[in-house]
C-alpha cells in the first residue's frame, strides 16, 4: 500500500484554554501538513471540536434542499414533498447526530431554523402549528434526533454491543450507591457531576441523562 503524501494530513485537538502543542510529523522524510479541520467518513472534525465547520456544511446542504421543496410545493402533493424531505434532508440531519448534536445551541440554531422552514412546506393546513406539522409527518426535530441516537447508543452499551474501548465508559448506579435505593434499582447510569458547559456537552454526561428519561418498558 502506498501513501499519497499530498492527501495525508493530521489534526491536533486543542484544549479549551487554548494551549496548543507544536508537532512536526513526517513519513519517509515527507512532511505531513497540519490542518484545522479534516473530513473523515463524511464528518468534518475541527481542532476545537465545536462542530462549527460540519454544521456550516450541513446548513448549506439543507438550504439547497429547502429551495427544492419550495419550488416543488407548487406542483406536487404533500406525500411527495414528504418523500423529498426524507430523501434530501433527514439523512443529513440524522447521520452522526450523536456527535455534532452536542454542539452549542448558538451553533445549531441556524440548522434548526432551516429544518423548521423545510417542515412548513409539508403542512396540510394553513392553521397547523409547527409542532403539529412535525407530529403529523412523523418527523423528529434535531434535538429529538439527537436524543434518539444517544438513547440507542446507551441501549447498545447496556447490552454489550459496543466496541471494547467503551467498556466501563459509563458506571451503573448500582456500582456507586452502597444501598439498594429506588434510584439504584432503576438500572440507570451514574450521572457525573460537571462544572463546565463543555462537560455538560460530553457524551459521558449526556448519555446517562438521556437514558434516565426513557421509560423502563421502552429500555428493555
Among 145, 180, 196, identify where a domain stops.
Answer: 145
Quote the number of domains for the chain. 3
Q: In the structure grid, which three cell numbers stand for residue 27, read together?
A: 513519513
Residue-level pLDDT at 184: 47
| Shared domain check, 65 and 93 | yes
Q: What pLDDT band is residue 169 in, cutting at 50, 70 and 90?
A: confident
| pLDDT beyond 60 at 185 | no
Summarize pLDDT for 76-92 with one digit per residue, the tens.
999 999 999 999 999 99
Q: How far is CA 186 from the centre of its chain?
A: 26
Q: In the structure grid, which three cell numbers stand for residue 127, read together?
A: 392553521
Residue-level pLDDT at 84: 96
| Shared domain check, 130 and 205 | no
| Shared domain check, 59 and 32 | no
Long-range CB pairs of 3-7 (<8 Å, 24+ gap) are 3/27, 3/28, 5/30, 5/32
| Shared domain check, 136 and 100 | yes
At 60, is the secondary structure helix, strand, or coil?
helix
Average pLDDT, stretch 181-190? 61
**Exposed, middle or buried: residue 72 (CB in 10 Å: 0-12, 13-18, 19+)?**
middle
Among 145, 174, 201, identify where a domain stops.
Answer: 145
Q: What pLDDT band is residue 171 in, cutting at 50, 70 and 90?
A: confident
| pLDDT beyond 80 at 186 | no
| Shared domain check, 59 and 22 | no
Summarize pLDDT for 93-115 with one digit per residue, the tens.
999 999 999 999 999 999 999 99
| Shared domain check, 79 and 102 | yes
84: domain range?
A: 52-145
Residue-level pLDDT at 16: 63
Residue-level pLDDT at 180: 55
| pLDDT beyond 80 at 176 | no
Other Cβ atoms within 10 Å of 199 Cβ, number: 12
Summarize pLDDT for 107-136 with one digit per residue, the tens.
999 999 999 999 999 988 888 899 999 999
Residue-level pLDDT at 196: 73
Name the residue with higher pLDDT: 136 or 6: 136
**Exposed, middle or buried: residue 85 (CB in 10 Å: 0-12, 13-18, 19+)?**
buried
Summarize pLDDT for 33-51 with one digit per residue, the tens.
888 899 989 999 998 889 9
| Shared domain check, 67 and 16 | no
List strand residue ranges (DSSP E) for 43-186, in order. 43-46
Among 101, 121, 145, identify where a domain stops.
Answer: 145
| Shared domain check, 124 and 96 | yes
Average pLDDT, stretch 56-74? 95
Residue-level pLDDT at 12: 86
Angle in degrees, CA 113, 117, 121, rounded to 5: 165
Q: How far is CA 164 from the centre of its chain?
A: 22
Amino acid at each position: 500500500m502506498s501513501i499519497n503524501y499530498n492527501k495525508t494530513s493530521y489534526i491536533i485537538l486543542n484544549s479549551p484554554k487554548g494551549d496548543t502543542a507544536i508537532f512536526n510529523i513526517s513519513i519517509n522524510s515527507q512532511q505531513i501538513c497540519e490542518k484545522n479541520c479534516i473530513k473523515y467518513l463524511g464528518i468534518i472534525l475541527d481542532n476545537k471540536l465545536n462542530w462549527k465547520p460540519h454544521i456550516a456544511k450541513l446548513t448549506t446542504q439543507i438550504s439547497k434542499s429547502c429551495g427544492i421543496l419550495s419550488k416543488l410545493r407548487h406542483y406536487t402533493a404533500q406525500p411527495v414533498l414528504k418523500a423529498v424531505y426524507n430523501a434530501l434532508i433527514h439523512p443529513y440531519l440524522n447521520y452522526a447526530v450523536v456527535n455534532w448534536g452536542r454542539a452549542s445551541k448558538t451553533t445549531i440554531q441556524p440548522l434548526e431554523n432551516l429544518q423548521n422552514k423545510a417542515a412548513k412546506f409539508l403542512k396540510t393546513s394553513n392553521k397547523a402549528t409547527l409542532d403539529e406539522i412535525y407530529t403529523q409527518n412523523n418527523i423528529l426535530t434535531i434535538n429529538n434526533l439527537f436524543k434518539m441516537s444517544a438513547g440507542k447508543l446507551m441501549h447498545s452499551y447496556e447490552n454489550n454491543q459496543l466496541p471494547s474501548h467503551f467498556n466501563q465508559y459509563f458506571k451503573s448506579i448500582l456500582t456507586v450507591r452502597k444501598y439498594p435505593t429506588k434510584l439504584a434499582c432503576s438500572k440507570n447510569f451514574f450521572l457525573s457531576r460537571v462544572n463546565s458547559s463543555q462537560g455538560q456537552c460530553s457524551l459521558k454526561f449526556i448519555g446517562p441523562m438521556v437514558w434516565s428519561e426513557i421509560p423502563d418498558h421502552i429500555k428493555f
